[in-house]
Amino acid sequence: NAGVTQTPKFRILKIGQSMTLQCTQDMNHNYMYWYRQDPGMGLKLIYYSVGAGITDKGEVPNGYNVSRSTTEDFPLRLELAAPSQTSVYFCASSSSGGATGELFFGEGSRLTVL
């Protein structure tokens, strides 16, 4: 049982490039989340989804896009990478919007924009 899988684990981008961070979960969870974590800061919610076809903005959505075409996948798209997007990105999922408080996290993706 893989849980939440994120790819890639590391990536270096040039300013203006675009990329997609992939996230997939095999637990049949309805809720999925994307967080970013900057050094010395807590996790900030970028986007989340309560089910296939439904997405909502979190605290820091600017510069990102998401889609949720299937229950399993929740990719995060950076269209025009900027140095401010250098961060560690975490994908998470839960079965009931975190009603039990349990988010299942991926291992993280470290992105550097130069």
Partner 1 sequence: AQRVTQPEKLLSVFKGAPVELKCNYSYSGSPELFWYVQYSRQRLQLLLRHISRESIKGFTADLNKGETSFHLKKPFAQEEDSAMYYCALRVGNQFYFGTGTSLTVIP
Taking contact as CB under 8 A, which single stretch among the options 17-25, 68-76, 79-87, 98-106 is the one that binds partner 1? 98-106
Gap between the Cα atoms of 86 and 107, Å rounded: 17
- Nearer to partner 1 by Cβ, of 16 and 97: the residue is 97
Which residue blocks in 48-93 are alpha helix, DSSP H? none
Q: Which two tokens stand for residue 99?
A: 């009603």
Gap between the Cα atoms of 42 and 44, Å rounded: 6
Tell me if 75 contacts partner 1 by CB under 8 A: no
Which residues sit at the interface with partner 1, rule CB under 8 A? 3, 31, 33, 35, 40-45, 48, 50, 56, 58, 90, 92, 97-98, 100-103, 105-108
